[in-house]
Every structure is written in C-alpha cells, then in structure tokens.
C-alpha cells in the first residue's frame, strides 16, 4: 500500500552512522512526513548559534530555522562537546553571551568583557 504512494526516492551519503541519525532527525523535523511518527516530537539536538548583530553573541539553541542571517553549527549529539566548543569560541573571539545586554553595562565594561583584556594592561 505505501509503495504505491512513493513519488520519488532520494539519498544522501554521509560519513558515519551518527551523521546519518542526525540527518534523519533533522529531515523528519523539517518535512514532517505523514508515515514517520517516531521522531515527530519536539525534542531535537542542540545547535550553536552566532547571531548576526553589531556585537555578535553565541549561545546554544534547538531552533535553527530562524531566517535572520545568523550562523548555525551542529547539530551536536554530545552536549558536553558543544559547550566545550562554545567556551573555546568565547576565548578566541570577542563574542557576547546570550544573556549579556549592551544596555546594562557601560561602554567601557562592554569593551572590556568583549576583548577579555583589562584596561590596566593597556
């Protein structure tokens, strides 16, 4: 019965079994196929988001289909690895945390937190 309803078959080659599971999860979330009910829940793997803002911020999210020009990396099945990568990115690049706002700090405090350099060192 289901075979008669097949209109097209496509396949994607991936490097590992884990990549295949992550891809399957994302495609089911995106296209919501009628006959696949196993992965239609709201649970999904987290992504790293770097917002497209004048002072970019980095945070983890499970909603990666926002069309706002942000850059997304993932998905990550290992959340500990994702947090390690986010910490590394914060050390290497001057990115804000998702919770920090520019309004609550003075310009000097914001520049200091972004550059990770003490003004006394300058």
In a 3-state reduction of DSSP, which class is residue 20?
helix
In this prediction, residue 15 carries a pLDDT of 94
CA distance 96 to 89: 11
CA distance 44 to 42: 6
User: For 62, which DSSP code?
Assistant: S
- The pTM (predicted TM-score) of the whole model is 0.55
User: In 3D, which of 100, 106, 116, 89 has the Cα closest to residue 55?
Assistant: 100
pLDDT (tens, 9 = 90+) of the chain, 122 residues, equals 677 878 888 899 999 888 888 888 778 778 877 776 655 555 678 889 888 887 788 889 887 666 788 888 888 888 899 999 998 988 888 777 766 565 555 656 666 665 554 444 43
In this prediction, residue 74 carries a pLDDT of 81
**Which residues in 1-122 belong to E strands, given as ranges?**
47-50, 57-61, 71-73, 96-97
In this prediction, residue 120 carries a pLDDT of 45
In this prediction, residue 80 carries a pLDDT of 92
In this prediction, residue 116 carries a pLDDT of 54
Residue 90 burial by Cβ neighbours in a 10 Å radius (0-12, 13-18, 19+) = middle
In this prediction, residue 101 carries a pLDDT of 60
């Amino acid at each position: 019965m289901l075979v008669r309803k097949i209109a097209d078959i496509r396949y994607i080659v991936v490097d590992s079994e884990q990549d295949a599971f992550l891809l399957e999860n994302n495609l089911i979330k995106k296209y919501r196929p009628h006959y696949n009910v196993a992965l239609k829940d709201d649970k999904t793997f987290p992504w790293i988001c770097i917002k497209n803002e004048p002072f970019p911020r980095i945070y983890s999210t499970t909603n990666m289909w926002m069309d706002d020009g942000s850059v997304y990396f993932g998905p990550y099945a290992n959340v500990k690895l994702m947090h390690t990568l986010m910490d590394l990115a914060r050390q290497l690049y001057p990115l804000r945390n998702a919770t920090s706002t520019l309004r609550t700090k003075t310009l000097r405090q914001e520049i200091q937190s972004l550059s990770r350099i003490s003004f006394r060192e300058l």
